[in-house]
Amino acid sequence: MKQKLAIVLCLSCLVITGRAQRLINGRVINQQSREPVSGASVMAEDSSVYTISDINGNFSIATKEGAVLQISSTGFERKKVKVGENDFILVPVSPLQVELDAIVVTGTMKAVRRSESPVAVEVYTPHFLKKNPSPSIFESLQNVNGVRPQLNCSVCNTGDIHINGLEGPYTMITIDGMPIVSSLASVYGLFGIPTQLIERVEIVKGPASGLYGSEAIGGLINIITKSPDKAPRFTANIMTTSWLEHNFDAGIRFKAGKKINSLMGVNYFNYQHPFDRNNDQFTDIALQHRVSVFSKTNFSRKYNRSASLAGRYFYEDRWGGDMNWNRSFRGTDSVYGESIYTSRWELIGNYQLPLSEKIIASFSATGHQQNSYYGTTPYMGDQKIAFAQLIWDKVVGNTHSFLAGITNRYNYYDDNSTATLDTLTGINRPDKTFIPGIFLQDEWKPGAKHLFLMGLRYDHHPVHNGIFTPRFAWKWSVKDGQVFRLNAGTGFRVVSLFTEEHAALTGARAVDVQESLRPERSYNVNLNYTWYKKWKQLGLNLDASVWYSHFMNQIIPDYDTDPNKIIYKNLDGFSGSKGVSLNIELNHANRLKGLFGITLQEVKKTENDPRGNKTTIRPVLTERWSGTWSITYSIPSIAFTIDYTGNVYGPMRLPLLSATDPRPEFSPVWSIQNIQFSKIINRQFELFAGLKNLLNWTPAKNVPFLIARSHDPFDKNVAYNTDGTVKATAENPFALTFDPSYVFAPNQGIRLFAGMRLTIK
C-alpha cells in the first residue's frame, strides 16, 4: 500500500511539474542600438536548461514561471531576467564600455577602436540621436557638448554648426569620410540625411587639415552610414508635432545579385503652416518642403576587398517672411519674403585595388544649385566639387603603421553676385580651382603604453601656392583605464565669402571686401584625458579636454563699423579660441544613465585700430560657457524608457545697428529642454511621444523686437543724413534699418511630438 502511494505521489509531482513548465520565447537585443545579439547564452540560474540565441537574437527555452534566466554574451554585461506570465521576453543587454570600444575612422583614416586611437574622437550612435528625435542631424547635434547649431537668419532659418565657439565654415562635414559638404552646402548639408541610415556620427574637435585639407581648420564631423551588408531589411520612422511639422524616414535593404547588397533610404519633411507667436508679422520659422533620397551599394569581392558606391539627391523649397507673402511676391518689393530653392546631388565611391598591398581609391562629387530671392535681391548659385583620393595603408613590423595618400580637388563656383564678376571688364568669370595634395602619416608604437602619430600634408593652391599642414599626436595609456592624448597641428582654409555668410545675401547690408583675401591659418594644441571605472552596479566614464587654437589671417565679418555694411578683410592681428570641456557619463544598473557636459571657452580677436592701438573684442554669437545633458531611465520589465535632454548657454554678444538700438547687446542665459517617453510594443514596433522646449523659451521674451523694422523691410521710410548714416525720425526714433541678423536661438516654443519606429531585421 505504501509503495502504491509513493508511486501516485511521484506521478502527481511529475504532472504538476509538467504543467508548471512551458516554452518561453525571447529575443536578446543591444540596449543602445536595438540590434539583435546572436550567440548569447541563455541559462537557468540552477543550470537545469541552456540554449543560445540565433542570428536574429531569438531563443526558446522550456522553464517554469518564477525561474531566473541568466543571459550573457561576449562584449555585453551579464543580465538576469525573471520569467513571468508572458510567453515572450525581450532582453535588452548593455554593451561593455561602448564608448571606449567603438570603432572609429575619422582621426586617422583607419578603422581602429576608439580606445586605441591617438586622436580624440567623440562617437554618437543612433541611440543617442533618438533621445531627442529631430527631422535633421543639424538639430540633433544640439545636445553634443561643445557643439552648437547656430541659426544665422531670423527669416529663412538657415544655419551652421559651431564647434568650440568657431563659426560653421571652420567645420568640415564629411559622409563616410568623403568631403561632401562644404562652402555653399554648409548650410544645407546636415538636412535631409535619412537618420535611419546613420550608423554613427564621429566628431574631432580641432584642426584636421593634416589629413582632410582645407575647411577642416576648426573641427570635423564625419557621418558614417550603415553598411548594406548589416543593415535591417526595413526601417521606418514617422514623426509629427503640434506645430504641424511632419517627418518621414525609411530605409530598405535588398540584394541586387549574389554579390551585390544595396541600401536605399528616403527622408521627407513638410512644414506648411506659418505661425507668428511673437507678433512681428513675420513667420517664426521658415516653411519647408524637402525630400532626400539616399542609396548605397556594397560589392562582395575576393579576400574581403572593399568596393562601394553611394549617392544622394536633395531638393528643398523653403521660405520665410511676411505672413502675407506668397509666390507671386517673389523678388518684388511689395511684401517681403526670402524664398530658396535648393537642388543638390552627391556621389561617393571607393574601390580597393586587387593588389597584395592595401591600396584604396575613393572619390566624391557634388553638384549644388540654388535659386533664391532675399526680398528683391536675387542669388543664383552654382557649385560643383570633385574629389579623388588614393591611399596606401602599410604596416611595417610590429611598431609602425604608415598611411600615404595623394588627393586632387576641383572646385567650380558661379553666381550672379560680385564674387565672380570681373569689375574691370564687367564679364562674369566663374571660379575654377584645382587643389592637388599629398600626405604621409606614421603611427609608431614603441611599447604597450605609448603610441605616437606624425603626419605632414602639402597642398598646392593656384593662387596661394604651397600650403604645409603638419600634425602630431601622442597617446599614453596609464593604468586603471586612464588615457592621455596630446594632439597638435595646423589648419588652413581658402575662403569663399558669398557661399558662407547668409547675411551677405539678404540685401539688408552691403558687402565691402576691402582687400585681396589671404587664406586663413591656424595652430592648435589639445590635451585630452579619459578614465573609465566599473563598480558592481555603477559605471563611470570621464572625458576632459583643454585646448587652444591660434588663428592668423582670419576673416571675421565686421557688423560693427557700419550698420549698413558687412566688411570683409584679413584680420590685422590674431584671434584665438581656448577653453576646457568635461563629459561625465554614468550608468547605474543599466537602468539609469546620464551624460553631462560642460564647456568653458574664451573666443576673442586682437587687432590694430586705425591709430595703431591694439584692441581685443569678443566676436558676435560666441558664448563663454555652455552645458548639455541627457538622462535616460529604463524599465526593462515593461520595455518603457524616459529620456530627458537639454542644453544651456551663457550670454552671447549680438549684432546691434546703432548706439540707440533698444535691443540688448547680450543674449540672456537660455535653455532648451525636452522629454520623451518611448514604449517597445514588440520586436519590430516602438512608439514615442514627448514635449520639446519644456520651458517654452524663445528669444523674443524681454526683447522689444527681433527683426529690426519688420514693418518696413525695403527701407522705404528710412531717412539718411548727408554722410549716409541713418537719420533718427519720429517714425524711426532709433535710427534703424531693416535687419534680420539679430538671432541666436530658435523661435519655436513648447510643442508636442509623437511618432513610431518600425524595424524589420
The predicted pLDDT at position 184 comes to 52
pLDDT at 12 over 80: no
Q: Cα separation of 566 and 192, whole Å?
A: 30
The pLDDT tens digits of the residues spanning 682-699 come to 878 999 999 999 999 999
| Cα–Cα distances in angstroms (integers) from residue 675 to residues 492, 694, 757, in the given order | 40, 8, 17
Q: What is the mean pLDDT of residues 556-570?
A: 68
Q: Cα separation of 94 and 81, whole Å?
A: 14
The pLDDT tens digits of the residues spanning 406-455 come to 999 998 888 887 667 666 677 888 888 898 999 999 999 998 899 999 99
Q: Cα separation of 576 and 560, whole Å?
A: 19
Q: Cα separation of 654 and 262, whole Å?
A: 48
The predicted pLDDT at position 585 comes to 93
CB 113 within 8 A of CB 49: no
C-alpha neighbours within 13 Å on the C-beta side of residue 656 = 15
CB 756 within 8 A of CB 685: yes
Q: Give the range among 209-213, 599-603, 624-628, 695-699 with minimum mean pLDDT.
A: 209-213
pLDDT at 606 over 90: no
Q: Cα separation of 44 and 87, whole Å?
A: 16
- Between 680 and 187, the more confident residue is 680
The predicted pLDDT at position 450 comes to 93
Q: Which residues of 478-506 are buried (b: 16+ CB within 10 A; e: fewer)?
A: eeebebebbbbbbbbbbbbbbbbbbbbbb
The predicted pLDDT at position 13 comes to 47
Q: Cα separation of 295 and 262, whole Å?
A: 7
- Between 668 and 420, the more confident residue is 668
- Between 46 and 83, the more confident residue is 83
The pLDDT tens digits of the residues spanning 358-383 come to 999 999 999 989 899 989 988 888 88
What does CATH list as the number for 225-760? 2.40.170.20
pLDDT at 4 over 60: no
pTM of the model: 0.83
| Cα–Cα distances in angstroms (integers) from residue 59 to residues 19, 49, 74, 224, 389, in the given order | 21, 12, 17, 31, 46
Q: Cα separation of 539 and 447, whole Å?
A: 28
> What's the topology of domain 98-224?
Ferric Hydroxamate Uptake Protein; Chain A, domain 1 (2.170.130)
The three grid cell numbers given for residue 631, joined into one nine-digit string: 538622462
Q: What is the mean pLDDT of residues 149-171?
A: 81
The listed range with the strongest mean pLDDT (59-68, 170-179, 188-197, 630-639) is 630-639
The predicted pLDDT at position 214 comes to 65
- Non-local (6+) Cβ contacts of 176 within 8 A are 222, 223, 224, 225, 310, 348
3-class DSSP assignment, residue 12: helix
Residue showing cell 562584449: 75
Q: What is the mean pLDDT of residues 745-751?
A: 91
Q: What is the mean pLDDT of residues 743-755?
A: 92
Residue showing cell 510594443: 681
3-class DSSP assignment, residue 2: helix
Q: What is the mean pLDDT of residues 540-563?
A: 80
The pLDDT tens digits of the residues spanning 705-728 come to 999 999 999 999 999 988 888 999
For the chain, what is the mean pLDDT? 84
Q: Give the range among 172-186, 232-246, 276-290, 548-562 with minimum mean pLDDT.
A: 172-186
**DSSP per position, 553-596:** S-B--B-SS-TTEEEE-B-SEEEEEEEEEEEEEEEETTTEEEEE
> What's the topology of domain 2-93?
Immunoglobulin-like (2.60.40)
Helix residue ranges per DSSP H, 116-215: 126-130, 137-140, 209-212
Domain locations along the chain: 2-93, 98-224, 225-760
Nearest CA to 82 out of 67, 71, 61, 70 is that of 67
Nearest CA to 454 out of 484, 489, 414 is that of 489
Q: Cα separation of 26 and 48, whole Å?
A: 18
